[in-house]
């Protein structure tokens, strides 16, 4: 659950700064894979 909140926090910060468009789909896949990796 902590990871989920952590990831949401990062996404919120990125979207607030307007950097969301900077990340491509494959980058997001890599990031989420790290979060979901045990």
**pLDDT tens by residue, 1-35:** 566 677 777 777 766 666 656 666 667 778 778 88
Range of the domain at 8: 2-36
Q: How many domains does the chain have?
A: 1
Q: Which residue carries 């659950």 as its tokens?
A: 1
Contact 2, 30 (CB under 8 A): no
Asked whether the whole model's pTM tops 0.75, one would answer no
pLDDT at 34: 82
pLDDT at 10: 74
Other C-beta atoms lying within 10 Å of the C-beta of residue 7: 15
How far is it, in rounded angstroms, from Cα 23 to Cα 14? 10
Contact 28, 19 (CB under 8 A): no
The angle at the Cα of 37, spanning 11 to 7, to the nearest 5 degrees, equals 15
Three-state DSSP state, 20: helix
């Amino acid at each position: 659950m902590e990871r989920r909140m952590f990831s949401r926090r990062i996404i919120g910060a990125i979207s607030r700064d307007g950097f969301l468009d900077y990340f491509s789909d494959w980058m997001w896949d890599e990031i989420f894979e790290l979060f979901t990796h045990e």
